[in-house]
Structure 1
Amino acid sequence: MSDRKPFRWHIVVFLAPAVLVYTAIMIIPLFATLNLSLFTTVDRVSHFNGLGNFRTLFGDPRWSASFWNALANNTWFFIVHMLVQNPIGILLAAILSNPRLRGAAFYRTAIFVPTILSFVVVGFVWKLMLSPIWGVAPDLLNAVGLKSLFAPWLGKEQYALTTLALISVWQFVGIPMMLIYAALLSIPDEVIEAAEMDGITGASQFWKIKLPLILPSIGIISILTFVGNFNAFDLIYSAQGALAGPNFATDILGTFLYRTFFGFQLQLGDPNMGATIATAMFFIILVGVCIYLFAIQTRLRRYQF
């Protein structure tokens, strides 16, 4: 008799629908985009161009200046989220996980609600609020004696991108908060009780006991923040338009891709160069994810409970 185990056909049956859908809407378009980036169109005739489009994107001053500007803005957009959103999310999770806090469920809900709002609504409302003409921000600052600090933040090149990044932080801080909150709740009571018996309580308990245990969750949040920020588009577009003003100060890879692929105002659409930008975005994200998986995640100690 053969000891060979029978093939588990039920696994194929249950996985097939998800695999087919994912292939149709993700894998095939991805390879189509990669293929499109290798061609150029002259007089409505497509010609194979190899890596020529990438040389144009990175080397031609007409394209490279816009690309490196968008990449730098995207990097700053990500840094603001890493330095502001995630630490605040961790702090809120630590506070809300305190069993002695009253109304924790209400606070969690209130903080998480903005994440389900439309980008268009968030961008439009904040643009109205920060308007120096009819916005409420000048009056609110005036009410607390700080009107001198007000400036048209969305209209100044040095402030616009940071302002939009902080608006994005306000909208999405609930996501790292909930993920860290869940990680904190998964820590066994026995570990906490042992720490308390050793006299480790309060903030010291969080830094010495809880934080090392949730480092893998923080790593996952960081890479999700990286991927989400380098795919960002909606908030910038809804608040500043496709030109990502003022003077392209808020232009990121997503808006640069949109203008290039579809065209805008006097700029004609170029699907081949648009696909080239999309491919560059894909490889930037791929490299970032690989660095996390092979250089960071492998160093994080995982605890099994």
Structure 2
Amino acid sequence: MPVTKTRRSRHTGITLSRRAGMVFVLPALILFVIFILYPLVTALSYSLFDWTGIVRGDFSVLDNYVTIFTQLPYKDAIPNAFVHNILLFVGAMVFQNTIGLGLAVLLHRVRRFKRFFQTVYTLPYLVSPLVVGYLWSLMLSPLFGPVNAILKGVGLDALAQPWLGNPTTAIWVVVFVTAWQWVGFPVLLYGAALGGIPDEIDEAASLDGASSWQRFRDITGPLLLPAIGTVSVLTFIGAMEAFAIPYALGGSAGNPAGATDVLSLLFYRTAFESGSSNAIGTSSAIATLLFLFIFGVALLMTWLMRRAERRLY
């Protein structure tokens, strides 16, 4: 009897725990369904119909998808915008896994003023991307921007140029500003991961004669792999969804001459500025394809990272 009562009490405790967990999860689930899942399903349904303004027409199956890959301006704008999204991702990843990781390691080793510098590096990440983009557009202005003024002041007049007016440099400005704003995120995440590594492991390797680089390569680096995976996936999602900073720096047209265009800007122009009678159907097709690509690649990246973790551990 005591054993049976103990089992029943444990079962009751687990059931209550699960119910309590569901109560806490339910608000987030409701918000997810309303603001994410429902719009996604709606966009998918819209993309399967012809539209005349806001009036839904006949069921068109995949006609809207064929349109964006075979008709101008979509068949030229989509590859151009897609390449820029990939550049944003690669640039942010390189920036975060070099400078971001380096800053996290330095802050982990230097205890003095650690909180202060963590706050300083995180502040840009907490500011609205639209505000960040507009501030950088002012600083890079060829007329009154401080960047060109500083370059001219130190004798580097040849480097002073209209950064956002030159198609060659404009996209790299977007990449830099995006990576600059995001650097605070990996600093915090890598800092937390470094704090979870026992100091005894590093001390034991040091006593065995391992150099700082060897300890980082063979011990710290592999233990940071879960954090690197998280940063990689979230950076990919953020880069593919980028809108605010490209919009602030290049406008809705991705100026100059489409040099800063990204897929979200293309969706925005198609939906609100194209003047097409079938704008809803075409823009919904772009949004659906963008979601499917992000979702599929994010799943693949997560699977590859977990597979790499299992091999290490």
Do both proteins adopt the same fold according to a TM-score greater than 0.5, normalized to the shorter chain?
Answer: yes
Matched positions, count: 302
Distance apart, 1:17 and its partner CA: 2.5
Query: Over aligned residue pairs, what C-alpha RMSD do you find?
Result: 2.3
Over the matched positions of the two proteins, sequence identity in percent amounts to 34
Alignment partner, residue 112 of structure 1: 122
Q: Using a 3 Å threshold, how does the CA distance of structure 1 residues 10 and 162 change in structure 2: closer, same or farther?
A: same
Q: Using a 3 Å threshold, how does the CA distance of structure 1 residues 103 and 302 change in structure 2: closer, same or farther?
A: farther
Whether 2:82 is the aligned partner of 1:79: answer no
Distance apart, 1:130 and its partner CA: 0.9
Distance apart, 1:60 and its partner CA: 2.1
Q: Quick one: distance in 1 between partners of 2:277 and 2:213?
A: 57
Q: Tell me which of 27, 37, 52 is aligned to 2:37.
A: 27
Q: Quick one: distance in 2 between partners of 1:102 and 1:145?
A: 36
Alignment partner, residue 212 of structure 1: 222
Q: Hey, which of these two has a bigger chunk of helix by percent?
A: 2
Distance apart, 1:145 and its partner CA: 2.4
Alignment partner, residue 288 of structure 1: 297
Deviates more, 1:38-47 or 1:16-25: 38-47
Q: Quick one: distance in 1 between partners of 2:277 and 2:244?
A: 21
Whether 2:84 is the aligned partner of 1:62: answer no
CA contact (8 A) 2:122 2:183 kept: yes
Deviates more, 1:53-62 or 1:277-286: 53-62
Q: Using a 3 Å threshold, how does the CA distance of structure 1 residues 231 and 85 change in structure 2: closer, same or farther?
A: same
Q: Mapping of 1:1-305 within 5 angstroms?
A: 5=11, 7-8=15-16, 9-42=19-52, 44-99=55-110, 102-263=112-273, 270-301=279-310
Give the structure-1-normalised TM-score. 0.91
Q: Deviations over 1:170-195 (max 9, x none)?
A: 11111011101111111012212211
Counterpart amino acid of 2:264? G
Q: Deviations over 1:38-67 (max 9, x none)?
A: 111147342111111111111224321111
Q: Using a 3 Å threshold, how does the CA distance of structure 1 residues 269 and 255 change in structure 2: closer, same or farther?
A: farther
Counterpart amino acid of 1:270? A
CA contact (8 A) 2:229 2:302 kept: no
Counterpart amino acid of 1:62? P
Give the structure-2-normalised TM-score. 0.89
Q: Quick one: distance in 2 between partners of 1:279 and 1:208?
A: 42
Q: Using a 3 Å threshold, how does the CA distance of structure 1 residues 89 and 60 change in structure 2: closer, same or farther?
A: same
Counterpart amino acid of 1:282? F
Distance apart, 1:135 and its partner CA: 0.9
